[in-house]
Amino acid sequence: MAKKQILIICGEPSGEMHAAGLVREMKKIDPDINISGIGSDLLKNAGADIFYDIKGLSVMGLFDVFKKLPKFISLKNLILKKIKSGNWNAIIFVDFSGFNLRLAKKINNEILTIYYVSPQLWASREGRIKTIKKYIKKVIVLFKFERAFYKKHGVDVDWAGHPLLDIVKPTMTRDELINNLKLDRDKIAISLFPGSRKQEVKRIFPIMLKSAGLIEKNLKAQFIVAKYPQVEWDTYNELIKKYGVDVKIVEGKPYDCMNIADFCLVCSGTATLETAIMQKPFCLIYKTGLLNFLLYRPQVKLPYIGLANIVAGKKIIPEFIQFKASPGRIADYTVKTLKDPAKIKATKEDLFAIRPHLGETGAASYAARSIINFLSKS
């Protein structure tokens, strides 16, 4: 039997994390399967052949998309050329919906199409379901409520559960990190997660640093910054120097930064769900360019943008978005919460209640089996 040939397409760090987990599990089931895709060393180390590095593909807002449009067009043409020159059994799209759905249209069912970490149509621009129905043959979702949404629209869908349940684990004990960073055990630890994209860090980190400056006027606090490897050190250091807040930076260990924290300030995105899984009280912070905000906000149908609140079906974490993302508001909430043990306890209980909605551990393994079975029947 000929080896299966699979393409996998992701475009951002969070999507690549899930793509890598999927590739690793698919290789366990079928060691001979050949998987080629776009990614970085993370996907390569999972067992995929990389033909394009995703560094610089992340975008934040419509105008950033326009700036990088030539790069996206070039990449799309490269992938289409690769499809025509090979004998591929399927292509797996992972997240990155703005690019991937357009690519799916161009592929036009020439090969089998599978979507893992599907677009959040239930949150905004539901009309994209027409594209999914026409150009995607199998969808694998992470949240239980997503399965019902896609079934309602007649899409072939499986619910795998959320891979983060297997991924979100500290690499060391709390005491080890305290000792490594030479932290003061008598001070409250607050961890800052300003995003995994350079644009996010430049826009949101200043708000967090100003908030930290206000917090330390009211609490004996120390601050830890979770640095993502894809964002240059200079981006962080320049802002820290500008705002004069004493922080400790930890690179590539977000779950250790969460584990050590009494409270977290978190940029909207995957990190909010990761923090929820760690059951750490936090607040969500997000700010984009004004024109981007005015363009996108009317398209969002849900009352919340944070995954913890969406999954819970109620507001358990405050969301400081755009005009409300002021250091004064954020600092005030943080200080009041940390001074209220009953509030901390209730928040942790609400966060714990989210876990059953995320499925069981082993989501990437389930997704891999689902895809392999689908390929064998197609």
Residue 146 makes CB contacts below 8 A (sequence gap 6+) with: 118, 122, 157, 159
Q: Would you say the C-alpha torsion 274, 303, 150, 75 has a positive or negative sign?
A: negative
Select from 302, 104, 138 the least CA-distant residue to 147.
138
- Encode 244-258 in three state secondary structure: CCCEEEEECCHHHHH
What is the three-class DSSP state of 321? strand
Select from 64, 21, 66, 17 the least CA-distant residue to 40.
17
- pLDDT digit string (tens) for 23-42? 999 999 999 999 999 999 99
Q: What is the pLDDT of residue 48?
A: 97
Task: Fill in the amino acid letter for 310.
Answer: I
Tokens 């150009």 belong to which residue? 135
Structure tokens at 322: 């755009």
Instruction: List the chain residues with pLDDT less than 50.
Output: none
Residue 4: its H or E element? none
Structure tokens at 293: 């905000």
Bridging pattern class, strands 49-53 and 157-159: unpaired
Q: What is the pLDDT of residue 62?
A: 62
Q: What is the DSSP letter of 47?
A: T
Contact 225, 190 (CB under 8 A): no
Contact 225, 252 (CB under 8 A): no
Residue by residue, DSSP assigns 139-176 as EEESSHHHHHHHHHTT--EEE---THHHH---SS-HHH
Residue 371 makes CB contacts below 8 A (sequence gap 6+) with: 22, 26, 90, 92, 114, 116, 138, 140
Structural domains of the chain sorted by starting position, each given as residue range(s) with its CATH number in brackets = 5-162+362-377 (3.40.50.2000), 174-358 (3.40.50.2000)
Q: What is the pLDDT of residue 303?
A: 79
Query: By CB neighbour count within 10 A (0-12 exposed, 13-18 middle, 19+ buried), where does 368 fall?
Result: buried
Q: What is the pLDDT of residue 377?
A: 87
Q: What is the pLDDT of residue 27?
A: 97
Q: What is the pLDDT of residue 219?
A: 96
Q: What is the pLDDT of residue 173?
A: 95
CA–centroid distance for 123 within its chain: 15
Distance of alpha carbon 107 from alpha carbon 371, whole angstroms? 19
Q: What is the pLDDT of residue 337?
A: 97
Distance of alpha carbon 263 from alpha carbon 255, whole angstroms? 13
